[in-house]
Amino acid sequence: MLLIECPWCGPRDEAEFAYGGEAHIARPTEPDKLSDAEWAEYLFLASNPRGTYLERWRHAHGCRRWFNAVRDTYTHEIIEIYAMGSLPKSKLGIQAYEDSWRRGSAAEQNAKRGSAKS
């Protein structure tokens, strides 16, 4: 069982939380401009590292708020908790963010182009 530090409620048992999957997945704003292969990559490929992973959690049986975590998938150590919409500040978190295959993906480039217009 993990002990997870909710940024608002403090340390709580893992059973109070809902796992929200990988963090920092950019949603394409113009999906029709992606090729079938690029769209399939966005929809079906998932990171599954042995080591540092950036993920989303929700305190489902508490304050119900979302937050991000940097967690080692091998040791289950939670290295950092940080706010939704922000980037990790720990060295391992920054490294995991920059090393992610998603940083150069067509879906992320598409999302950036779309957000630049609005």
Give the residue with the Cβ less far from Zn ion, 6 or 79.
6
Alpha carbons 113 and 18: distance in angstroms, whole number: 32
9 near Zn ion (CB under 5 A): yes
Beta carbons of 33 and 110 less than 8 angstroms apart: yes
Least spacing, CB of residue 113 vs Zn ion, in Å:
35
Size of the site for Zn ion (CB under 5 A): 6
81 near Zn ion (CB under 5 A): no
Contacts with Zn ion, 27-66, as mask; x by CB under 5 A: --------------------------------x--xx---
Least spacing, CB of residue 59 vs Zn ion, in Å:
3
Beta carbons of 14 and 1 less than 8 angstroms apart: yes
Task: Spell out a b/e string for 5-36, using b for 16 or more CB atoms within 10 Å of the CB, else e.
Answer: ebeeeeebeeeebeebeebbbbebbeeeebee
Give the residue with the Cβ less far from Zn ion, 62 or 114.
62
Residues that bind Zn ion (CB under 5 A): 6, 8-9, 59, 62-63
